[in-house]
């Protein structure tokens, strides 16, 4: 590798998460440890390693004052921090079960990525005014129900598949399609929502999204290659996706998201002068959106991304299993 940071890892040139996840194709063989050290550690994270944002992206004073806007961001970061911590622990099993060196190296880097995400989400709460010595307790208290009702069932599903059943490829499908494939568009929305209100939070989301492009792309290529070599695995993959969809349908994820969006909506109204005519997506001012609309848009992005990735993997028959139209 040369000293040039590849476009997908370059802070200024990397595509949006949605564009990258739908159009970029990377493999585990490409995204080895050497790639990660050069492209990510010395590229994406240059000047942003500890906080996730550039020094000049400061936390505005209005984000440190009590109110619904601050509460919405604290809830988002608290939940995402524990989710990424769970992801880190789950991925330890992927590293242990990796069938070959490329997969071992890639999932080692993804484990580090997720641990870093947890760190920067957590640390931004301190920038929002949470005392450092109260940080762990604050996150544990705010995320207790979310962890129990959402994260633990997802963790159990992934760990059972990878560790207990020894199905590494099934685990890749769970992380790529069921977990990150569902949650990634919400991360894209986060980057857009906070761009004006809290540039630091937006940059933190941007850095995480750049990583997620790589995770989704490489996971998809692993599944594509495995199915090409082992077409007999298709029924098993479809069963995992069926179980994954069934799991998500049972979880009260929407209620947690909508509570956060309601708080954001209250704060948005209070700070309308700061937001002005900023468009959260082309042709739509953030001020004119509602929580329900933002949630529905993220859901639409999720479906669009899933259709593209599943077709890339060569499993269009998975679309109806996930309730998607081709």
pLDDT of residue 3: 62
pLDDT of residue 2: 45
Domain assignment of residue 326, yes or no = no
Q: Which domain holds residue 124?
A: 7-321
Domain assignment of residue 154, yes or no = yes
Task: Count the neighbouring beta carbons within 10 Å of the beta carbon of residue 304.
Answer: 15
Provide the domain count of the chain: 1
Domain assignment of residue 2, yes or no = no
CB 31 within 8 A of CB 1: no
Name which of 115, 160, 169, 156 is nearest 251 in CA terms.
156
Domain assignment of residue 226, yes or no = yes
Domain assignment of residue 37, yes or no = yes
Q: Which residue has the tokens 């040139």?
A: 13
Domain assignment of residue 1, yes or no = no
pLDDT of residue 115: 98
Distances (CA, A) of 134 to 51, 121, 123, 173: 18, 15, 12, 37
Q: What is the CATH number of the domain that holds 108?
A: 1.10.620.20
Domain assignment of residue 220, yes or no = yes
Domain assignment of residue 274, yes or no = yes
Blockwise average pLDDT, block size 10, the chain, 326 residues = 80 92 94 97 95 95 97 97 96 98 98 98 97 97 97 97 98 93 81 96 96 96 98 97 95 94 97 97 97 94 92 95 86
Distances (CA, A) of 68 to 109, 145, 218: 36, 20, 38
């Amino acid at each position: 590798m040369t000293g040039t940071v590849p476009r997908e890892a370059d802070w200024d040139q990397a595509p949006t998460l949605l564009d990258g996840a739908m159009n970029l194709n990377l493999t585990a063989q490409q995204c080895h440890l050497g790639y990660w050290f050069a492209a990510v550690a010395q590229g994406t994270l240059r000047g942003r390693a500890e906080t996730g944002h550039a020094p000049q992206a400061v936390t505005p004073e209005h984000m440190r004052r009590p109110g619904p806007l601050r509460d919405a961001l604290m809830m988002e970061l608290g939940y995402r921090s524990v989710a990424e911590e769970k992801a880190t622990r789950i991925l330890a099993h992927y590293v242990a079960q990796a069938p070959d060196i490329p997969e071992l190296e890639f999932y080692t880097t993804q484990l580090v990525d997720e641990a870093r995400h947890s760190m920067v989400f957590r640390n931004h709460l301190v920038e929002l005014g949470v005392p450092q010595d109260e940080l762990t307790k604050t996150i544990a208290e705010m995320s207790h129900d979310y962890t129990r009702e959402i994260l633990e069932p997802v963790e159990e599903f992934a760990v059972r598949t990878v560790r207990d059943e020894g199905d590494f490829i099934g685990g890749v499908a769970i992380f790529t399609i069921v977990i990150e494939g569902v949650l990634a568009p919400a991360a894209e929305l986060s980057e857009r929502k906070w761009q004006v209100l809290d540039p630091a939070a937006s940059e933190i989301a941007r850095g995480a999204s750049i990583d997620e492009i790589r995770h989704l792309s490489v996971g998809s290529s692993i599944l594509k290659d495995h199915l090409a070599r082992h077409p007999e695995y298709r029924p098993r993959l479809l069963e995992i996706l069926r179980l994954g969809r069934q799991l998500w349908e049972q979880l009260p994820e929407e209620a947690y998201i909508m509570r956060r969006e309601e708080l954001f909506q209250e704060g948005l109204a209070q700070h309308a002068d700061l937001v002005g005519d900023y468009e959260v997506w082309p042709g739509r001012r953030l001020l004119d959106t509602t929580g329900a609309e933002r949630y529905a848009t993220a859901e639409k992005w999720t479906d669009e991304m899933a259709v593209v990735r599943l077709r890339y993997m060569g499993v269009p028959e998975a679309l109806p299993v996930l309730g998607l139209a081709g």
